[in-house]
Amino acid sequence: MNWNGITVGYALTGSHCTLEEVMPQIQRFKDGGANVVPIVSSTIMTTDTRFGTSENWQKQLKDITGNDIISTIVEAEPLGPSKLLDVLVIAPCTGNTTSKLANAMTDSPVLMAAKAQMRNCRPLVLAISTNDGLGLNAANIAKLLVTKNIYFVPYGQDNPQQKPNSLVAKMNLIPEACYAALEGKQLQPMIVEYS
């Protein structure tokens, strides 16, 4: 895919188990010529987990994108007036972020970036990763499905036997979903069998 001349906002929230899976997708944007602006929630900036240290994830983001990380609400706010981002993807997008976005809450850099993108009527792409996508968060996902300029990376049940409410996006489809969103289209099929 040719991303020359396109600025992609790439926002990450605290689904730490999927961070390793999304880093190659950021590289795909860069390899295609995109300017990638990394935006992270405070969890990414402060939390070490069995999936890696905060320092490691920050280093990878800076190395891949060549840009400084937007990690505060104050840093994210100018994204609105500047109209910097052609497309913004939140990947992974946790249930917490999904619920706050659906209910117009803006208490993190990622949510401020999303608000800025929606203000500008530009595409916002969500790659959900939540254990309650078919539980309490189902209502929030439904609200976002019918919201103008919001698109989804195709998703499915990643473990229906042991976690029947869990939904996770097919992270390898992030660039394709963003490309479609730039054309005002939802990548189809949106609900996929997860394997």
- The ranges assigned to domains in the chain are 7-85+95-183
Write the single-letter amino acid at 74.
Answer: V
Write the single-letter amino acid at 115.
Answer: K
Contact (CB, 8 A) for 12 and 39: yes
Instruction: Report the 10 Å Cβ neighbour count for 71.
Output: 20
Up-side HSE of residue 80: CA atoms within 13 Å toward CB?
14
**Among 12, 62, 20, CA closest to 39:** 12
Could you tell me the pLDDT band of residue 48, with boundaries at 50, 70 and 90?
confident
User: In Å, how far are 4, 71, 160 from 43, measured between CA atoms?
Assistant: 31, 10, 27
pLDDT for the residue numbered 15: 77
CA 63 from centroid of its chain's CA atoms: 19
pLDDT for the residue numbered 8: 98
Quick one: tokens of 13?
């929230």
% pLDDT > 90, the chain: 86
**Among 194, 140, 139, CA closest to 164:** 194
Q: Could you report how far apart the first and last alpha carbons of the chain are, in Å?
A: 24
Contact (CB, 8 A) for 195 and 161: no
Contact (CB, 8 A) for 2 and 28: no
pLDDT for the residue numbered 46: 84
Helices and strands (H, E) in the chain, number of each type: 9, 7
Give CATH for domain 7-85+95-183: 3.40.50.1950
pLDDT for the residue numbered 14: 78
Higher local confidence (pLDDT), 42 or 98: 98
Alpha-carbon distance of 51 to 57, in angstroms, equals 10
pLDDT, tens digit, 9 for 90 and up, residues 138-164: 999 999 999 999 999 999 999 999 999
Q: If you average pLDDT over residues 31-44, what whole number do you get?
A: 94
**Among 18, 30, 108, 103, CA closest to 63:** 30
Contact (CB, 8 A) for 34 and 60: no
pLDDT, tens digit, 9 for 90 and up, residues 70-125: 999 999 999 999 999 999 999 999 999 999 999 999 999 999 999 999 999 999 99
β-bridge mates for residue 129, sequence order: 168
pLDDT for the residue numbered 181: 98
194 pLDDT above the threshold of 80: no
Could you tell me the pLDDT band of residue 195, with boundaries at 50, 70 and 90?
low
Instruction: Report the 10 Å Cβ neighbour count for 12.
Output: 28
What's the mean per-residue pLDDT of the chain? Answer: 94
pLDDT, tens digit, 9 for 90 and up, residues 157-190: 999 999 999 999 999 999 999 999 999 999 999 9
135 pLDDT above the threshold of 70: yes
